[in-house]
Amino acid sequence: MRTAAVTPPVRRPSAVRALTTLLASTAAATVVVELLNWWYAPEQEFGLAVRTGWAMLRSLGFLVLIGQVNRGRAGARPFGLILAVTTVFAVGRLVVPRQGVPPLPGLVGFAVLTALCLAVVVLLYRSDTVAGHLVRHRRGLVVEGGTISWREVAPKRPEVTGWLLTSRVAAFTYSPLMLVPALVAGGAVLDGRLAVVPVVLAWFAAGIVVSYLVLFCTAFLLRGRRWARRLLVTITLGVLAVNLPLCWWLLGLDGLVRDGAPLLAAATLALYALHRAPATPTTPPR
C-alpha cells in the first residue's frame, strides 16, 4: 500500500486574502470595543462582566471563521453571516448605558465594528471569487485502490443549500444566547433573591437541553427530512416562549432588550432561512 503525494498549496485569490484580513481586523475590533465599553461603564457589575466576556469570545469565532475561509469550506458563508449579525447585537447592547448618553469612543467603536461586519457579509455573499472559493468539504483519510490519501471527503447526505446551512448555524446560537442571560440572572442570587434559584437553574438547564435538541434536529434537517423542519420551528418558538418572558421577569426591560433582542434576531434569521430553503433535497440520497 502506498501513500498519495501531497498536493502543493495553491495561492488564494486576492478577494479571499482580503476577506481573511478583514476578519482578523473585525476580531481585533471586537476586543477593543468591548474593552472601551467596560472602561466607560458607570457600573461594572456582574451582568456586564458576563455579557462582555461573551461578546469578546466572538473574536475567537472570527478566528475560527478565518480557518474555514482558508480551507474553502462551504459552511463559512452562513457561519460568517450569523457571526456578524449576532456580534453587532452583542456589542450594541453594551454600548448604551442604563442611564445617560453613550460615551463617544464607544459609539465610534461600535460604528467601526458594524461597518467591518457589514463588509464581511458583503464579501461573503456578493463576491463571486469568494463564492467560488468556498465550495470545499471537510478533509479526511481515504483508502482507494491501495492508496491512502488525505483529501476532501464528499458528504453522504444530499447536497444542501446555503439557506439550509444558514438556518442550521443560526439555530446553534440558541443555546449560548439562553445561557448568557441565565448566568446574568444568577447575579440576582448573589443580591439575595434566593427564591429565584430554581428558576435560574431550570433556565440554565433548558439552555443545555436546547443545544442537544438543535444538534439532533439539524442532523436530519440536512438530510431533507420534513419532520425536522417542523421540529426546528417548534424548538425556535419554544426557545422564544421561554427566554423572552424570563428576561423580562428576572432582568427587567433592560435585560429583555440586551439579551432578548439577539436571540430574536437569530430566531428570525433561522426561520427566514428555513422558509427560503427548498423543502426537498436538491439531489437524491445515495
pLDDT digits (tens, 9 = 90+) for 116-133: 999 999 999 888 899 888
Write the DSSP symbol of residue 136.
B
Strands 139-144 and 2-3: unpaired
pLDDT at 2: 46
- Summarised one tens digit per residue, pLDDT across range 209-266 is 999 999 999 989 988 888 999 999 999 999 999 999 999 988 888 888 888 888 998 9
pLDDT at 98: 65
pLDDT band of residue 57 (cuts 50, 70, 90) is: confident
pLDDT at 4: 45
What CA–CA distance (Å, rounded) separates 36 from 31?
9
Interior angle at CA 51, CA 64 and CA 48, nearest 5: 150
Higher pLDDT, 9 or 122: 122
Give strand ranges (E) for the chain.
Answer: 2-3, 139-144, 147-152
Q: Are 38 and 52 in contact (CB under 8 A)?
A: yes
Interior angle at CA 254, CA 170 and CA 40, nearest 5: 95
Q: Are 242 and 206 in contact (CB under 8 A)?
A: yes
